[in-house]
Structure 1
Amino acid sequence: MSSQAGPAAPGAVTDKLDRDVLKVAVVVVAGAIMAILDVTVVNVAMQKLMLQFNTSFDTIQWIATGYMLALATVIPITGWAADRFGTKRLYLLAIAFFLIGSMLAGMAWNVESLIAFRIVQGFGGGMLMPAGMTMLTRAAGPQRIGRVMSVISVPMLLGPVCGPILGGWLVDAVSWRWIFYINVPIGAIAILLALKLLPKDSPEPSQRFDFPGLLMVSPGLAALIFGVSRIPEAGGVTHLAVWLPGLAGVLLLVGFVLRSVRIANPLLDMNLFRNKAFSMSMLTMAVFFIGMMGSMLLLPTYLQVVRGESALQSGLLIAPQALGVMITMPRAGKLADRMGPRKLVLPGVVVMVLGMIPFTMVTADTSFWVLLPGLFVIGLGMGLTMVPVMSAALQQLELKDMAKASTATNILQQTAGAVGSAVMSIILAALLAGKFGVPTSQGQIAATVATLNPATHDAAASMASDAFATTFVWALVLMAASIIPAFFLPKKGPAAAAPAPAPGEDTAPPVVVH
């Protein structure tokens, strides 16, 4: 086996990322930047797109929701496809899908075509990160999972910060179409780098694919996320458009679990949850992602609705969070490999909670000299927590189990992030609706209109800031709750660097998706 397909040769095992691994990392990061930025640059253009296509906000939201659903449905198939067709081929195919979707989205002529083309983008984006991380971790080996997580998690966490800045500038200074066209040059570079730097690989014999399982888990996830995403628009969970798809999704997922424990080679191996380290890591990750993604949604909305900042200004004000992430994240991966995840995740969550406290008392004129240091502290905690909590789910498993484990990890991340954003949106919408005496679905619109009116600005900003402060309290509670399962994470890092696997041994590595 070549040095590119596993850990360094026996007798020369090292915990450093060598030149071959760094080549793969360059390619993976190039693709990750394109895919992750696209998730957030669209958010700042929603208002512009709503006016451009003369449609309602609940319709234009499907530009983001459709992309998210496409991501969730394609994740389960990527591990099998990587073995069946080869990771390099799959990676190039994913970039091609993403670029085609980007170009078509930039040329969209109505809102329906834009939503459809975003779904095409989502299919490419859903395969892009898993295929890239498969190549990267296969080259690095299991003993360096923390380090490769650090490499790929930088664009994962910086995307929500850099995306609004780039998107706001493109919308204001160029055209909304360029939030999609910008992917074309980045994607072209990623393809050239992939062709030049990625080692050749060959399709490997793969186990029979669980198509019945796919037909249960993918529609189940899609239906569940669809139902959750409709709660703010419907005004509650009792609406037919919420509970019917939500119930259908839950039934499909329960059926999938019950079937998976009775068959050989299921799409997702439920037996992995018998491993305490894996199950506790997954629980910690779920709670953490719900709180983290929910809190990341709130701040730019507060800045725009209450403080009257533009999309670009809001993005710039979030920059201290990126600085905090950049300081701690590169060190977190190395420390996670050496010290064990628990010793990093627990203080990381505490740091994030401390940084969140000023936002739970936010007002209409809270000084930015109070909020910006809080953001910096939150960033420190995010960088300290994100990599260890992801790698903890994989470090204690056998190499042959990593592909299935990382597929489950990907699905959990996507679902928890969507649920976190929806939960915070529901809480905020209900609080704003109560403050302004309107239906739940109209709460944010009423607050925006009232704060833009000079005659009602002061009173409206005060009421809206109260609603945001209460919502930040909920985000803090959810984030702090991840401390409980984190107490059961592994105390120690992975065992000393393992020898290269024997020829023919399953070397499928972990996969991480945004």
Structure 2
Amino acid sequence: MSQTAAPPAAPAPLDRTARTVIAVVVLGMITTVLDATIVSVATDRLAAEFAVPLTTVQWVMTGYLLAFTATIPLSGWAMDRYGARRVWLTAVGVFTAGSLLCGLAWSAPSLIGFRVLQGAGAGLVSPVGMAMVARAVGPQRMGRAMAVVGIPMMLGPILGPVIGGVLVDSVDWRWIFLVNIPVGLTCLAWSARALADERGAGRERLDVLGLALLSPGLVALAYGVTSVAAHSDSTTAVAGGIGLGVLLLATFVAHALRTPRPLVELRHFAHRGFATATAVQFLAVGVLTGAGFLLPLYHLVARGETELTTGLLLVPQGVGAALAMALTGRLVDRGRGRTVVVAGVVLLAVGFLGYTAVGSAPGQLYLGIALFAIGLGAGCIFAPTSAAAYAALDRTAIARATTTMSIAQRTGGVVATAVFATVLQHHLDATRLPGDAFGATFWWPLGLALAAAVPALLLPRPASPEGAH
């Protein structure tokens, strides 16, 4: 019966309803993902505008990150209680309102506060959107759907600095926020008309103790590790944040395993497909988020490029990611997901291996090829791991499973960025040559990419139709 081990060669095409849900979700997600990095090129301008030090301006990014992290755990419960459509409209509405207020900010504290509001909405957009897509397309068509939905997640960190550089240099810093408004309003109008009004259970109780442990734990951990990444002189901020975060998260794990309906369902990890797919995404998103910090900084510091030129030089990574996602979706739906993921991990490693040689000041063509390989690898990972995770679960479990995966992605990104930043600072302090310091640091994302090969090889093969349950 070995001939029947693979799924059907031609899964059903995506219907109009599924395509509409995917399009709405991509539109809503793209601005929230861009907004996480678009501010990075405006920090000097904001410091001058409000006459505050860079340490204060840093909270424009940190406040967004912490609010984003804090609201993710609520997404699964909120969808179960109120329905995904209502939560989606609320999340996009809050993000759009926050964008308007950020564009109207009159001081650094007001901008930081409005960025927190923005982040609170953005933290719900991604997991709710992913859950809506997963429910609309079903497991057999997940590969193609996630290949499209993954485009904002792959391209956002790359395009953010480019768009931010153009807006700051050509118009005004306020437009890095105001540009979200027409997109947000369009998404709201389209969502209200096109999405089915799926009612929630209405009586779903909130796991208050779980919320009191998980959200503060994630925020404390994120604060601690971002203090490391910012090279904070306060050991209390670093050790206290990380220590408190680990303690609260460990307590939450013990609580969640004893509670019938916890805020985040950790028992999903008993499914091999979900556990291995989440592990791959934790490591891969960590690599890519950390690289999103290292790669622009290398071109800015070691090669002396401008912000706009740096963004343009990173375009090969986005091209590679888009190409891979366009080509691999159908392979995933035809049961080749594990092969695609393993190939993606190898390509990631090859790309970062190329960047370990930057101490010898290689040409831009060489670096462009390495970036293209990194992009190809990234584009090969997201769709098949998402498909593998959701295929292991019942449809009713998707909302909370999406929350769990979003938390894993965010935690991996925050921790990896802090580690890479700390290693880079160590090498910069130890050598006078920035190229050598970056070359030594790029061994870390290479190692993390290779570590992702272990859970990638453990991803289950898809069951045959006869054996599916």
Q: TM class by shorter-chain length?
A: over 0.9
Match 2:139 to one of 138, 142, 145? 142
How many aligned positions are there? 460
Stretch deviating more after TM superposition (354-363 or 133-142): 133-142
**Alignment of 1:372 onto 2:368:** yes
**Alignment of 1:412 onto 2:408:** yes
Structure 2 residue matching 1:263: 3-state secondary structure: coil
Match 1:301 to one of 285, 288, 297? 297
Shift of 1:281: 2.1
Tell me what 1:465 maps to.
435
TM-score by length of 1: 0.85
Match 1:199 to one of 196, 200, 214? 196
Give the aligned residue type for 2:441: T
Tell me what 2:393 maps to.
397
**Alignment of 1:257 onto 2:248:** no
- Please give the alpha-carbon distance, in whole angstroms, between the structure 2 residues aligned to 1:497 and 1:27: 34
Tell me what 2:340 maps to.
344
With over 3 angstroms needed to count, the CA separation of the structure-2 counterparts of 1:203 and 1:271, relative to structure 1, is: closer
- Please give the alpha-carbon distance, in whole angstroms, between the structure 2 residues aligned to 1:205 and 1:105: 34
Q: Deviations over 1:156-195 (max 9, x none)?
A: 1111122111110000000111000101111111112112
Aligned CA-pair RMSD:
2.1
Shift of 1:204: 2.8
Contact 2:76 2:403 in 1 (8 A): yes
- Please give the alpha-carbon distance, in whole angstroms, between the structure 2 residues aligned to 1:140 and 1:498: 17
Q: How does 1:26-175 map to 2 (within 5 A)?
A: 26-175=23-172
Tell me what 1:484 maps to.
454
Larger radius of gyration: 1
Shift of 1:15: 2.6
Q: How does 1:313-462 map to 2 (within 5 A)?
A: 313-363=309-359, 365-435=361-431
- Please give the alpha-carbon distance, in whole angstroms, between the structure 1 residues aligned to 2:45 and 2:374: 30
Contact 2:80 2:399 in 1 (8 A): no
Contact 1:207 1:265 in 2 (8 A): no
- Please give the alpha-carbon distance, in whole angstroms, between the structure 1 residues aligned to 2:122 and 2:85: 15
- Please give the alpha-carbon distance, in whole angstroms, between the structure 2 residues aligned to 1:351 and 1:254: 34
Contact 1:143 1:494 in 2 (8 A): no
Shift of 1:354: 1.2
Shift of 1:206: 4.5
Shift of 1:87: 1.9
Shift of 1:386: 2.0
Give the aligned residue type for 2:47: M
Tell me what 1:245 maps to.
241
Give the aligned residue type for 1:211: V
- Please give the alpha-carbon distance, in whole angstroms, between the structure 1 residues aligned to 2:203 and 2:155: 35
Structure 2 residue matching 1:363: 3-state secondary structure: helix
Report sequence identity in percent: 39
- Please give the alpha-carbon distance, in whole angstroms, between the structure 2 residues aligned to 1:171 and 1:246: 35
Give the aligned residue type for 1:374: A
Tell me what 1:4 maps to.
none
Stretch deviating more after TM superposition (78-87 or 240-249): 78-87
- Please give the alpha-carbon distance, in whole angstroms, between the structure 1 residues aligned to 2:150 and 2:196: 22
Contact 2:76 2:264 in 1 (8 A): no
Shift of 1:129: 2.1
Shift of 1:57: 2.6
With over 3 angstroms needed to count, the CA separation of the structure-2 counterparts of 1:233 and 1:127, relative to structure 1, is: closer
Q: Deviations over 1:335-376 (max 9, x none)?
A: 222224321111111111112222101037421011111111
Contact 1:349 1:480 in 2 (8 A): yes
Uncovered stretches (5+) of structure 2, i.e. residues with no partner = 1-9
Structure 2 residue matching 1:208: 3-state secondary structure: coil
Structure 2 residue matching 1:42: 3-state secondary structure: helix
Give the aligned residue type for 1:488: L
Tell me what 1:288 maps to.
284
Contact 1:98 1:121 in 2 (8 A): yes
Give the aligned residue type for 1:389: T
Contact 2:142 2:383 in 1 (8 A): no
Tell me what 2:215 maps to.
218
**Alignment of 1:267 onto 2:263:** yes
TM-score by length of 2: 0.93
Shift of 1:494: 7.7
- Please give the alpha-carbon distance, in whole angstroms, between the structure 2 residues aligned to 1:71 and 1:54: 27
With over 3 angstroms needed to count, the CA separation of the structure-2 counterparts of 1:86 and 1:109, relative to structure 1, is: same
Structure 2 residue matching 1:230: 3-state secondary structure: helix
Shift of 1:131: 2.3
Shift of 1:433: 2.3
Contact 2:94 2:121 in 1 (8 A): yes
